[in-house]
Each structure stands twice: as C-alpha cells, then as structure tokens.
Amino acid sequence: MAKVFDVPANELISKLTEQLKKDKKINPPEWASYVKTGPHVEKVPQNRDWWYTRCASLARKVYLHGPIGISDLKSYYGGRKRIGYNLDHHKDAGGAIIRKALQQLELSGYVEKKAKGRVISNEGMKRLDRLATEIFKEISKMDKNLERYA
C-alpha cells in the first residue's frame, strides 16, 4: 500500500480536490470569491475551485508535517512582496482562509485538533492513503520499473 510520501504532490492534490468537491461539508465561504490569499498577491485567485485545492493542499500538509499550527501554515503559504525599491520581504498568507479551511476539514473528518496543533485523523489518513495507492497504481502502469512495488 502506497503512502502520501510515495506519490507526486500535484497529482494527489488534484485527485483530492475532486473528492472534496463531492463532500457536502466543505464549501467555500461567501467571501471566498472576493478575497486575496495574502498581502503578497495582487489579485484574487483566478481558479474558481481554489478553495477545494487549498483544502486538499492543507490536508496533505497536515499529513506530512502534523502536528502543525496555523502560524506555520501561514508562513508556508505566504510569499515574497516587493516593497518599493528595496529587496523583497516575506509576507505570511491570510490566516482566516487557513483557519476556516481547517475547520471544514475537521468537520469532514480529515483533521483533528490537538494541544500542539492540527494532526491528520485516522479516517483522514485512510482516505489519503487509499487515494495515494490508486495514484501509485496508475503511475506504475505507465512505468514498468515500478510495477513490482504496486
């Protein structure tokens, strides 16, 4: 059985995004279509499904690095901002987006809240590992060298 560590992140996130769209407990808030993801960006996200992609990315990040807090995630999702003629400075991402997405992931059973931060739940780990196994089988069909591991 393959784990999240064994598959490419972009494929896992795209497949998990499709699963989260079907989940009734994960819905973008009303303000999601008007808000920037942080002070380092100039425009709102152009992808209409950016909320589900962010939730999928957060679930993967909590799986890999949990227990992890919101401040660590804000730093990870932040970016460089140009300030006049000076050098670029790092700006953290918005915390409300991350907080609300993690709350929705908690309601749907992917994440649990502990004393030191958020961790992946047992049910969330099963779901992500099953998805990673499916992706690994698809990849191993294309690459004959990986068939013996599937």
pLDDT at residue 100 greater than cutoff 80: yes
Confidence at residue 85, expressed as pLDDT on a 0 to 100 scale: 84
Of 59 and 36, the one with more pLDDT: 59
pLDDT at residue 56 greater than cutoff 90: yes
Identify the structural domains of the chain with CATH numbers, from first to last: 4-142 (1.10.10.10)
CA distance 123 to 138: 23
Of 150 and 138, the one with more pLDDT: 138
Q: What is the residue-averaged pLDDT of the chain? A: 86
Which pTM does this prediction carry? 0.85
Query: Could you tell me if 70 and 113 are in contact, meaning their C-beta atoms sit under 8 angstroms apart?
Result: no
Query: At residue 107, what are phi and psi to the nearest 5 degrees?
Result: -65, -35
**Alpha helix (H) ranges present in the chain?**
9-22, 50-65, 70-77, 95-108, 122-142
- What is the mean pLDDT of the segment spanning 103-120? 91
- 108: Cβ contacts below 8 Å, ≥ 6 apart: 20, 23, 25, 26
pLDDT at residue 117 greater than cutoff 60: yes
CA distance 55 to 61: 10
